[in-house]
């Protein structure tokens, strides 16, 4: 196999496949000069998982074989990236060393269930659920159907997370499920964050929903321990340091998350462990042959596929400029999109940029839950993802 490539893409998820596709469609000379390093046999449409957890979507529909999404003209190295040397422009993966002229880092982020005592061994039984792992998502719906009393406890970590509103999606749809089935179940939300949402317009709308639906919610409460057999969860308050134990019948965990550990010590990460790029051009702040987007990057916006969709054309245009020895001039304004189901069939579509001012696509008030937005997320988004975005279309 060749050992030097014009472009190496680390990670074959949403950001890696879409940018590789787009640059190959724009620069034909790159054929066979793009290497994607990705260990997984399957590529996942992760935004579909909360809908699997609420029984709306079939799990199988959220995955495809990786070889079917690798763009024509790219090569796939099925391996885990172990380390990167951006000075030598070398990547070590699967016992081999490959070198590059340019690199896109799209390694996503890592889930840290280990930070919650007892969580890993509790998952998938005694009503302990998560929508963040393919193998456990179906158990969420199974538990939902089996819960007829007590508490459903939904948690969200303070850390930066992907799918930033997935906990709220679960919260509202589970509340709706219980009401529709006339079950006497209390819905409880505990978030490590100090606010419900970062943009006031949508935060106001969500708080209104929480209160109207009588959902018991508390801020600054971090899940630190799970005892599945006793059906108890322990929270630590970020402000007071006090701990509280909350009983549950069903627990839905959004764990803490962190940046790619393979890049530790490479000089590519910022102090918080995310890939350190310019927030407008997505070019690395030190190494001008490196770009990054999506969950792995330190772009200060909510980590969503909807953000990757906005980032990808800008990154590719800037990378092409760098390949032509020009400075990157295309600007990303931080736009992201957070769809929040407020029940079965209704959804708030929050869209905004770095300035936290709503930047909505439709002429409707997107902070008001709409059937149209729900149908869009459930039926249109997967089609746009598999056939548009992964083919490099924004
Ligand atoms: C439960 C859930 C709900 C979500 N809901 C939404 C939603 O409603 N709307 C929305 O827009 N987004 C949503 N998202 C977020 C969205 O899926 C991510 O933001 C998006 O996938 C980010 O793309 P990425 O390329 O940065 O990371 P990913 O798509 O996660 O891809 C990273 C890739 O890197 C690979 N990788 C990791 N480590 C290594 C390594 N060492 N070597 C080689 N490869 C490696 C992984 O295997 C993976 O394929 C949700 C996510 C989850 C989990």
pLDDT, residue 252, reads 98
| C-alpha span between 142 and 269 (Å, rounded) | 40
| C-alpha span between 135 and 284 (Å, rounded) | 34
Whether 340 is in a domain gets the answer no
| C-alpha span between 187 and 214 (Å, rounded) | 8
> Residues 124-145: what's their mean pLDDT?
98
Distance 43 CA to ligand 1 centre (A): 9
The mean predicted confidence, pLDDT, of the chain is 97
Instruction: Tell which of 332, 355, 377 closes a domain.
Output: 332
Whether 299 is in a domain gets the answer yes
Whether 138 is in a domain gets the answer yes
279 and 243 within one domain: no
Best residue for ligand 1 mutational test, from 16, 18, 36, 47 (most atoms within 8 Å of Cβ): 47
265 and 183 within one domain: no
- pLDDT at residue 1 is higher than 80: no
Distance 332 CA to ligand 1 centre (A): 20
- pLDDT at residue 94 is higher than 90: yes
**What is the percent of the chain where pLDDT is above 70?**
100
Best residue for ligand 1 mutational test, from 57, 108, 351 (most atoms within 8 Å of Cβ): 108
Q: Atom 41 (ligand 1): residue with closest C-alpha? A: 81
215 and 263 within one domain: no
Measured from the Cα of 305, ligand 1's closest atom is 11
Q: How many domains does the chain have?
A: 2
Q: Atom 47 (ligand 1): residue with closest C-alpha? A: 40
Measured from the Cα of 15, ligand 1's closest atom is 25
Whether 153 is in a domain gets the answer yes
pLDDT, residue 370, reads 85
pLDDT tens track for 43-89: 999 999 999 999 999 999 999 999 999 999 999 999 999 999 999 99
- pLDDT at residue 128 is higher than 80: yes
Confidence of residue 326 (pLDDT cuts 50, 70, 90): very high
Distance 77 CA to ligand 1 centre (A): 19
pTM for this model (two decimals)? 0.97
Tokens of 12: 């074959």
53 and 18 within one domain: yes
307 and 291 within one domain: yes
pLDDT, residue 349, reads 95
80 and 134 within one domain: no
User: Which CATH number covers residue 234?
Assistant: 3.50.50.60
Distance 296 CA to ligand 1 centre (A): 9
Tokens of 300: 């200060």
| C-alpha span between 187 and 150 (Å, rounded) | 9
Whether 200 is in a domain gets the answer yes
Instruction: Tell which of 235, 257, 279 closes a domain.
Output: 257
User: What residue ranges line ligand 1, CB within 6 angstroms?
Assistant: 10-16, 37-40, 46-47, 49-50, 80-81, 106-108, 131-132, 162-163, 166, 260, 262, 294-296, 303-306, 308, 339
99 and 141 within one domain: no
Distance 106 CA to ligand 1 centre (A): 9
Whether 317 is in a domain gets the answer yes
328 and 233 within one domain: no
Looking up tokens 């158990």 gives 139
pLDDT tens track for 104-113: 999 999 999 9
Distance 68 CA to ligand 1 centre (A): 17
Whether 158 is in a domain gets the answer yes
pLDDT tens track for 150-180: 999 999 999 999 999 999 999 999 999 999 9
How big is the chain by its Cα radius of gyration, in Å? Answer: 21
Whether 338 is in a domain gets the answer no
Measured from the Cα of 137, ligand 1's closest atom is 1
54 and 26 within one domain: yes
Distance 320 CA to ligand 1 centre (A): 24
215 and 97 within one domain: no
Exposed/middle/buried for residue 133 (C-beta within 10 Å: 0-12, 13-18, 19+): middle
Best residue for ligand 1 mutational test, from 295, 302, 352 (most atoms within 8 Å of Cβ): 295
Range of the domain at 18: 4-109+259-332
Distance 312 CA to ligand 1 centre (A): 14
Distance 204 CA to ligand 1 centre (A): 28
- pLDDT at residue 369 is higher than 80: no
pLDDT, residue 302, reads 97
Instruction: Tell which of 332, 349, 367 closes a domain.
Output: 332
60 and 166 within one domain: no
- pLDDT at residue 191 is higher than 90: yes
pLDDT, residue 54, reads 96
pLDDT, residue 63, reads 98
| Exposure letters 352-391 (e unless 16+ CB within 10 A, then b) | bbeeeebbeeeeeebbebbeebbebbbeebbeebbeebbe
243 and 115 within one domain: yes
Distance 187 CA to ligand 1 centre (A): 28
Looking up tokens 């909505």 gives 360
| Exposure letters 232-269 (e unless 16+ CB within 10 A, then b) | bbbbbbeeeeeeeebebbbbbbbbbbebbebbeebebb
């Amino acid at each position: 196999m060749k050992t030097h490539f014009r472009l190496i893409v680390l990670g074959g998820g949403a950001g890696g496949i879409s940018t590789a596709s787009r640059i190959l469609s724009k620069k034909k000379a790159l054929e066979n000069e793009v290497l994607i390093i990705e260990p997984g046999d399957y590529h996942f449409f992760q935004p579909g998982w909360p809908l699997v957890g609420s029984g709306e979507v079939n799990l199988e529909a959220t995955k495809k074989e990786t070889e079917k999404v690798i763009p024509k003209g790219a090569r796939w190295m099925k391996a885990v990236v172990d380390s990167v040397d951006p000075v030598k422009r070398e990547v070590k993966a699967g016992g081999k060393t490959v070198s590059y002229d340019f690199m896109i880092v799209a390694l996503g982020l890592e889930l840290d269930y280990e930070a919650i005592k007892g969580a890993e061994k509790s998952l998938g039984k005694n009503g302990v659920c998560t929508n963040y792992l393919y193998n456990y998502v179906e158990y969420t719906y199974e538990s939902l159907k089996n819960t007829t009393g007590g508490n459903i406890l939904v948690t969200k970590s303070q850390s930066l997370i992907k799918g930033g509103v997935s906990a709220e999606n679960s919260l509202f749809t589970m509340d709706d499920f219980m009401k529709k089935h006339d079950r006497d179940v209390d819905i409880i939300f505990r978030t490590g964050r100090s606010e419900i949402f970062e943009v006031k317009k949508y935060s106001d709308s969500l708080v209104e929903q929480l209160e109207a639906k009588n959902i018991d919610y508390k801020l600054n409460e971090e899940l630190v321990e799970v005892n599945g057999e006793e059906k108890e969860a322990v929270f630590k308050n970020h402000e007071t340091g006090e701990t509280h134990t909350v009983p549950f019948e069903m627990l839905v965990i959004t764990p803490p998350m962190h940046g790619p550990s393979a890049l530790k010590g490479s000089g590519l990460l910022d102090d918080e462990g995310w890939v350190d790029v310019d927030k407008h051009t997505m070019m690395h702040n030190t190494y001008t042959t490196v770009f990054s987007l999506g969950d792995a990057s330190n772009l200060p916006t909510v980590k969503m596929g909807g953000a990757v969709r906005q980032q990808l054309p800008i990154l590719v245009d800037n990378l092409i400029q760098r390949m032509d020895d020009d400075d990157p001039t295309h600007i990303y304004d931080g736009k992201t999109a957070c769809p929040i189901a407020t029940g079965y069939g209704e959804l708030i579509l929050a869209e905004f940029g770095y300035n936290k001012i709503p930047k909505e696509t439709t002429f409707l008030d997107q902070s008001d839950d709409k059937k149209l937005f729900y149908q869009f997320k459930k039926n249109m988004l997967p089609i746009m993802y598999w056939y548009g975005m992964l083919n490099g279309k924004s």
